[in-house]
Structure 1
Amino acid sequence: MRAELGGVAVFTAVLLSGLTAGSSFELPSPSNVTITCDSYGVMVSWTSSGLSENASFNLQLKSNNPSPHIFINTSSHQYNISELLQDTGYNHYLVEVKARDGEYESPPADSKKFSFSYLQNADIQCNLAFPPVDLIPGERRLFFRFSNPLQLYRRTPALRSLTAAESLCYDVFDNRARTNRTEYITFECTSKTCEGNVSFPVEQEEYCVKLSGRIRQTRLEETKYLCYCGSLGPRVPITVYLIPLFLFLPCCALSLAYFLAKEINKKMKKKYLSKFPKPLRLPFGPSIDQTMFIIVEDDHFENRVIKVIHTKSPDASSGSSTPPYLKSSHLSHHSCGNDLAKDPEGGELKEKLIDPYSNGAEMSTGGLPSGYDRPH
């Protein structure tokens, strides 16, 4: 009897050990199930071990909404669930991940709860990034401007289910309120670009502001302090600089045009004058360059104007500067019809300015030969 009982005990032990060995062969659960969310979507990722190349993963998206849960199958170790999220402003979610390899399935591994609504009790709060802000100094004021995130993130999971009546509300903190965050200014924006300003009546070394906001139940991440270093005092109007500039530029253009026209004219004159022959020079006397009027007076001829072409020849000797055709002997034979004689005292010609409109009596006085009959 005892032998039979011993055999039954051994059989039972072997059966239990077989069952234990069979039950110990189960797939390990995925680990490090992580939720990553930003302004444009949500990504879930995980790690696993002890699986074959043909293993896959079953995902189940759960929410506090009573709507049916969503199931996904993938062979990757991450999945973008952005398109599966509905009405994110009022719900929180978690993702359950199971590994499946052949006919075996692992126990589930859950992610942390996450939500885009700051009113939901969630482990991970998904916020929207505040758009870049431009600072513009003014007179005792600091102006700021940025793109409205309501328009920027309109098609993302966080805001795609919004109604047209929703708007952006944002708060502005200045650097005077760093120790007391209850002091802030609230703005509302529905346009494509949001603008505002903060007053700084007291002169400071730098002027800083910090912005945060919300759209429905979704928060915009708070910016760091954005600072402007400079003066916010009264500024000189830009027209003070533009008017002199607009007056100066036309003057420069006119001066340049005048200079260019003058240079072109000079070059054209030089070009055309070079085509004409050089002035004629007589081989036997001075060059015909100058014209001189002289008056010759002697004892026999008075009140006579004689036009003489006279230029001092560069080849003339330094001993005599009087051309040969101005000598008294020459003038007596080459005087255009008038016989001239040299001065009886010195023999040289005298210059005298006379009135060409003298009367006849004055012109008749002189030393003409007595037998000369002068026409009347």
Structure 2
Amino acid sequence: MLPDGAFTVLLLLVGGVSAVPVPPPRNVHVSCQNAKVSVSWDYSKQQPHTIFRINISGSSENWEVSRTTDHHFDLSHFVWKSEENYKDFLYVTVTAIQGDSQSEGVQSNSFSFNYLKTVDTQCSLDFPPVDVKEDESGATVSFPNPVHFYKELEQTVNPDAVPVFQYIVSSVKNHTAYIRQFEENCMERVDTCKLDVPFPDGVKKCVRLKGTLFDSNFVNQLVVRETAEICAHVSADQRTGLFTTCSNSWYRTSPHGSRRFPSHFYSEDHLLLLKLLTNVSAALKSALQNFLKTLKVSSAAGCFVELFQKTSLNHMEEPQDSRPNETIQKPN
């Protein structure tokens, strides 16, 4: 029989062996990809079966506990549960659990969709698809209201605090220089936001858009990222009118004009020609344009040159948005 002192030492030794510390997760990081928010972390594959507890919390005491065996977890369901959540100062704590033992919790970077919050990662949304239609005085810019375009956002709308989407349309010249900026508000009850933008004569009708979603008191702010350069396209009605005018001119002036070749024959031919023009390279377009200018039927040729320019100008040399789709990191 062991003396009391020796028995106590033996218990301490056994307890010390069984209480092996559980290593904590490493590199716990929250990232935002548009409306999707997720957390990920690193953990050694040599460890025994491990469960990870995820605590989501913020300054307003909103929190949720979940468990997973993966090394990542989708937080979107919690973030977009309410307006209070996505506009709050949020962070995640991940703890590794092995049997009855657990590691110390590791806290992630802080994040929020509220631009007024001081956080490590400022989340934002992509601007909804934009349509720019050319008209006589300039262009009409339209896009779905972000409040309704994003279902995650729509489900958080508080009837007592109606959000307002304030957006800026900048007319652009040579990809970078801003001609003018137009600021407009789009109310929550509106499904499609629209704005008429004037342009000087002879200028390629291109715009950039960015915006901010405010609550009714204009305090909490959700940023909607700036678009790439978007250029106007000619509406179907304008193309039809130009085709009719050009076809009639061609028929009246063409030396081959004959009752055997009614005007609609030329119209279909010209439609095919235009379709080809809008899908070839810029160099070939230039050659075809010069060829049209040399045609003997000068008035009709000039008409088709104008049509060609209106329909192809905004499709040539489209700039590419080289910015990575990443979250905005605020400087320390």
Structure 1 residues 213 and 100: CA distance shift in structure 2, 3 A: same
Question: Which of 94, 97, 100 is matched with 1:100 structurally?
Answer: 97
What are the residue-to-residue correspondences of 1:27-106 with 2, within 5 Å? 27-49=22-44, 52-67=47-62, 69-85=63-79, 86=82, 87-106=84-103
Instruction: Assess, with a 3 A threshold, how the Cα gap between structure 1 residues 235 and 48 changes in structure 2: closer, same or farther.
Output: closer
Q: Higher helix share goes to which structure?
A: 2
Aligned length: 230
**Aligned mates of 2:129, 2:239 — CA distance in 1:** 26
Tell me the amino acid that sits aligned with residue 66 of structure 2: I
SS of equivalent to 1:36: strand
> Quick check: 1:210 aligned with 2:205?
no
Structure 2 CA distance for partners of 1:213 and 1:64, relative to 1, 3 Å = same
Matched, 1:200 2:199: yes
AA at the equivalent of 1:219: V
The equivalent residue for 1:353 is none
Task: Letter of the 1:73 partner, please give it.
Answer: R
Q: What are structure 1's unaligned runs of at least 5 residues?
A: 1-10, 245-250, 253-376
User: 5 Å matches for 1:278-357?
Assistant: none
CA distance in 2, matches of 1:163, 1:242: 54
For the residue of structure 2 that corresponds to 1:83, the secondary structure is helix
- Take 1:108 and 1:81, find their aligned partners in 2: how far apart are those partners? 18
* Aligned-residue identity in percent: 26
1:227 maps to: 231
Asked whether the equivalents of residues 134 and 145 of structure 1 are also in contact (C-alpha less than 8 Å), the reply is: yes
Structure 2 equivalent of residue 162 of structure 1: 157
For 1:227, give the aligned amino acid: C
Q: Distance in 2 between matches of 1:50 and 1:76?
A: 11
Preserved contact between residue 138 and residue 205 of structure 2 (Cα < 8 Å): no
Q: Give the direction of change, closer, same or farther, for the CA distance of 1:23–1:184 in structure 2 (3 Å limit).
A: farther
Partner Cα distance (1:236, 1:76) in 2: 58
Q: Distance in 2 between matches of 1:146 and 1:227?
A: 14
Runs of at least 5 residues in structure 2 that lack an aligned partner in the other structure: 1-5, 215-220, 249-258, 261-332
Q: Displacement, 1:159? A: 4.8
Partner-residue secondary structure (3-state), 2:226: coil
1:212 CA displacement: 0.4
Larger proportion of strand? 2
Alpha-carbon contact 1:173-1:185 (below 8 Å) kept: yes
> Which amino acid is the alignment partner of residue 60 of structure 1?
N
With over 3 angstroms needed to count, the CA separation of the structure-2 counterparts of 1:23 and 1:92, relative to structure 1, is farther
**Counterpart-to-counterpart distance in 2, 1:138 and 1:171:** 20
Q: 1:144: which partner in 2? A: 141
Distance 1:107 1:46 in 2: 14
The higher relative CO (CA closer than 8 Å, separation ≥ 6) is in: 2
The separation in 1 between residues aligned to 2:206 and 2:231, in whole angstroms, is: 4
Indicate if the aligned counterparts of 1:214 and 1:220 stay in contact, CA closer than 8 A.
Answer: yes
Aligned-residue CA RMSD (Å): 3.9
Residues 25-72 of structure 1 deviation map (CA, whole Å, 9 limit, x = unaligned): 3122111212122343311111101654521011111100034x3221
